[in-house]
Chains A and B, each alone.
Chain A
């Protein structure tokens, strides 16, 4: 008798929870159903997953895009491109993916989560050092000196992969003190003075202002990072995604990107 009552109790609670979950699902799915009007008018939130190195430029583009399209809000998720690709594969509700390399973009398109990415900008690498270059670093090979603390990106994130290419082209073996998870963490370590030097994007040096200095990597040792962007197949806001990408590829978006030190896309 008691056992029976206990079972009933559990069943009632389970039912209640299932009902709550169902209700929650119901409301969320009905809110994502959008009226896809024939006109180009976009609305709602556009969720953009973007590489950490794009933060300053995309924040600016986002603001301008919102001003140009009343009623639209852009929400950014900045992280290392590989983290973002993993999140997208685990069905994160993103509309747009902007990667700092083609490899991570490929893992998303290969999983059939998006197709036809377009390159919208390119970047090169530069050595970031403390303001005034206290360790007198002049070249990539100086990074191999044992008294220079070098922070790099982990080789799994695009900036880390590019960094390894640069080291290879320059023919040096560098023993970094840390392999950071995104280029922004490398910037932090150099800005705080914990690391003497870091290999980052040219745009990061430009954004760093007078707290840091940059050492140019010659073209024959440098790499060109192409940034591709794509609308995701399962984008909750497809119109918004397309409009945002067009804005980035258009003259206004390109102007902002170049003001932050990005170069035009290679092809």
Chain B
């Protein structure tokens, strides 16, 4: 029954090894083909730095928005009973399975200059989201926030609410219960959801290029810069930038995995 007593199964281990190799080999390819001699020069070129900086800013803003708006949504889905909940859950998590380009087109039709909400907004204040950095954040939020919501929702649903009831009955205020009981219990899923949403935002491509366009320094995030480089034959630039994303994402993934396990 104990974990260490699991029998070593050659079939399972073999298949698992193939699965692991399947993911490791492409990354190895990136490392081997990387233009190591010109690496620092390529990464610190102004174009690459702009793209990386924008990626960082936009993905952090997306994560913040996910926390501010996604947390209440996850709470609602996990704790409150209301009609049409299944539909709301389905619609708000749809972007997870939707091709991001479809998301980009839908965003244009809603928040674009001629869009459902975008048109009145534009005529009122003369601002429209496409081709702006806030547009990038909107595109990333559309794709990334559902990952946060669904992770947190499952954490909230699987939590034992009787602990909260017990704290309440012992006289703790709502806020205290939330801070001292709920939050520590959902911390692992909160962290996992945050990291998932952030990393999805970092990698977002389809919705961003469709909705926000591609302009260096304004809407060209690292994935867009990588796509432009590789499609114009500058494969070295593409690989160098890709490696930066790989290293950063890997560090964050491993770091938070260790934390959420010890939590």
Contacts and interface: CB of A to CB of B under 8 A. Distances in A.
A178 B230 contact: no
A7 B14 CA distance: 9
B97 interface: no
A86 B230 contact: yes
B17 interface: yes
Contact of A176 (B17, B209, B215, B228): B215
A189 to B, nearest CB: 7
Interface residues of B, number: 30
B186 to A, nearest CB: 39
A194 B112 contact: yes
Contacts, number: 88
B112 A192 contact: yes
B10 interface: yes
B213 A180 contact: yes
Contacts of A267: none
B1 interface: no
A194 B113 contact: yes
Interface residues of A, number: 35
A13 B11 contact: yes
A61 interface: no
Contacts of B10: 5-10
Interface in A7-34: 7-10, 12-14, 17
Given A193-B112, A193-B113, A194-B131, A10 B213 contact: no
Given A177-B213, A177-B215, A194-B112, A86 B233 contact: yes
A154 interface: yes
16 contacts: A9-B11, A10-B14, A12-B14, A82-B232, A83-B231, A86-B230, A86-B231, A154-B214, A178-B130, A180-B214, A181-B209, A192-B114, A193-B112, A193-B113, A194-B130, A195-B131
Interface of A: 2, 5-10, 12-14, 17, 79-80, 82-83, 85-86, 89, 107, 149, 151, 154, 156-157, 176-181, 189, 192-195
